A and B are shown apart, each in its own frame.
Chain A
């Protein structure tokens, strides 16, 4: 499976630990989707932070994705749900290392 496919799979399964393992030690996940929360963007640095962040978001049902579709080797589209606020988003794996681990992934409104 390609990194973007693994990303979609872990997000759909709310597998925060699996999601974190897709990233390098210092991998970065930047989510630029405007949402109803007071914070408009998320920039999460490091796999442990990604693990903890999504454990929180999934645990409190503040984040989920629906209708996901991998559109090419590095991108997937889905409906991102931020605590009941839906937005069409596109995730892009920007950089991977030689082992296929994600160094940088962005999520932006489509």
Chain B
């Protein structure tokens, strides 16, 4: 039996992942804004610190896995939240529990998005996130953007997820050299509480991103399809997998980017 911590497991992909881990006999600690074992706001530095401290108090012997899943969509209408939760919240928690993962040669899995390959992100913001990493400055930049414009929100969302994926790639070698694997899952359009509350225009945009395995069904992917891959990546069965951005999108990325084999 292992000990796994997961962010954003009160609903959606996170909840399914938690369920599968529990079925496999593991202990799971859910870190979420509501209904979590640790209830904190990971969009704030104080919330992240509290979560990291509590995990250290609860399991000083170490963690077998850290699954960083919490995030909001580009349609949430809150641009600072997209930046603070999706990118800074994820990186801070992963780094904050690295010592716990190291103790047990655990693994980290990060949720990104298959939209990272579709060209909607802003490279300048991605570079600011990865190369500067100054949350206050990025938030200052974001404050001048139009939060009512769906494409702005989407572009920022993609930028945070792209930066996350790149951060996973960059950090993966040194972490693995110290016994900690880190990978990312890039889901396609998944039916979650997040997508259920999307506007009509956002849903139309979703349907223009076809999912080959769901051809003709006009439906989104099931959270279980993503959760099963997350559990696999966190498990010892994936001990040879590190620094991988695994697309779990029913083939959308392959459809739109068939020539990109790497």
Contacts and interface: CB of A to CB of B under 8 A. Distances in A.
B259 A49 contact: no
A19 B210 CA distance: 16
B259 A52 contact: no
Contact of B258 (A38, A43, A51, A60): A43
B119 A52 contact: no
Nearest to B211: A52
Contacts of A52: 210, 212, 215, 255
A51 B214 CA distance: 13
B209 A56 contact: yes
Interface string B229-262: 0000000000000000000000000011111100
Contacts of A41: 259
Interface in A54-80: 55-56, 58-60
B25 to A, nearest CB: 40
B258 A48 contact: no
B208 interface: yes
Contact of A37 (B119, B207, B212, B258): B119
A83 to B, nearest CB: 8
Contacts of B119: 37-38
A52 B207 CA distance: 10
B210 A56 contact: yes
Contacts of B258: 42-44
Interface in B166-213: 204-205, 207-210, 212
Contacts of B259: 39-43
B255 A39 contact: no
Contacts of A42: 258-259
A85 to B, nearest CB: 12
A38 B116 CA distance: 12
The 8 closest A-B pairs by CB, nearest first: A59-B208, A52-B210, A56-B208, A48-B215, A39-B259, A52-B255, A39-B257, A55-B210
Given A55-B210, A58-B208, A59-B208, 17 more contacts: A37-B119, A38-B119, A39-B259, A41-B259, A42-B258, A42-B259, A43-B258, A43-B259, A49-B212, A52-B215, A52-B255, A53-B255, A53-B256, A55-B208, A56-B208, A56-B255, A56-B256
Interface of B: 119, 204-205, 207-210, 212, 215, 255-260
10 contacts: A38-B260, A42-B258, A43-B259, A48-B212, A51-B210, A53-B255, A56-B209, A59-B204, A59-B207, A60-B205
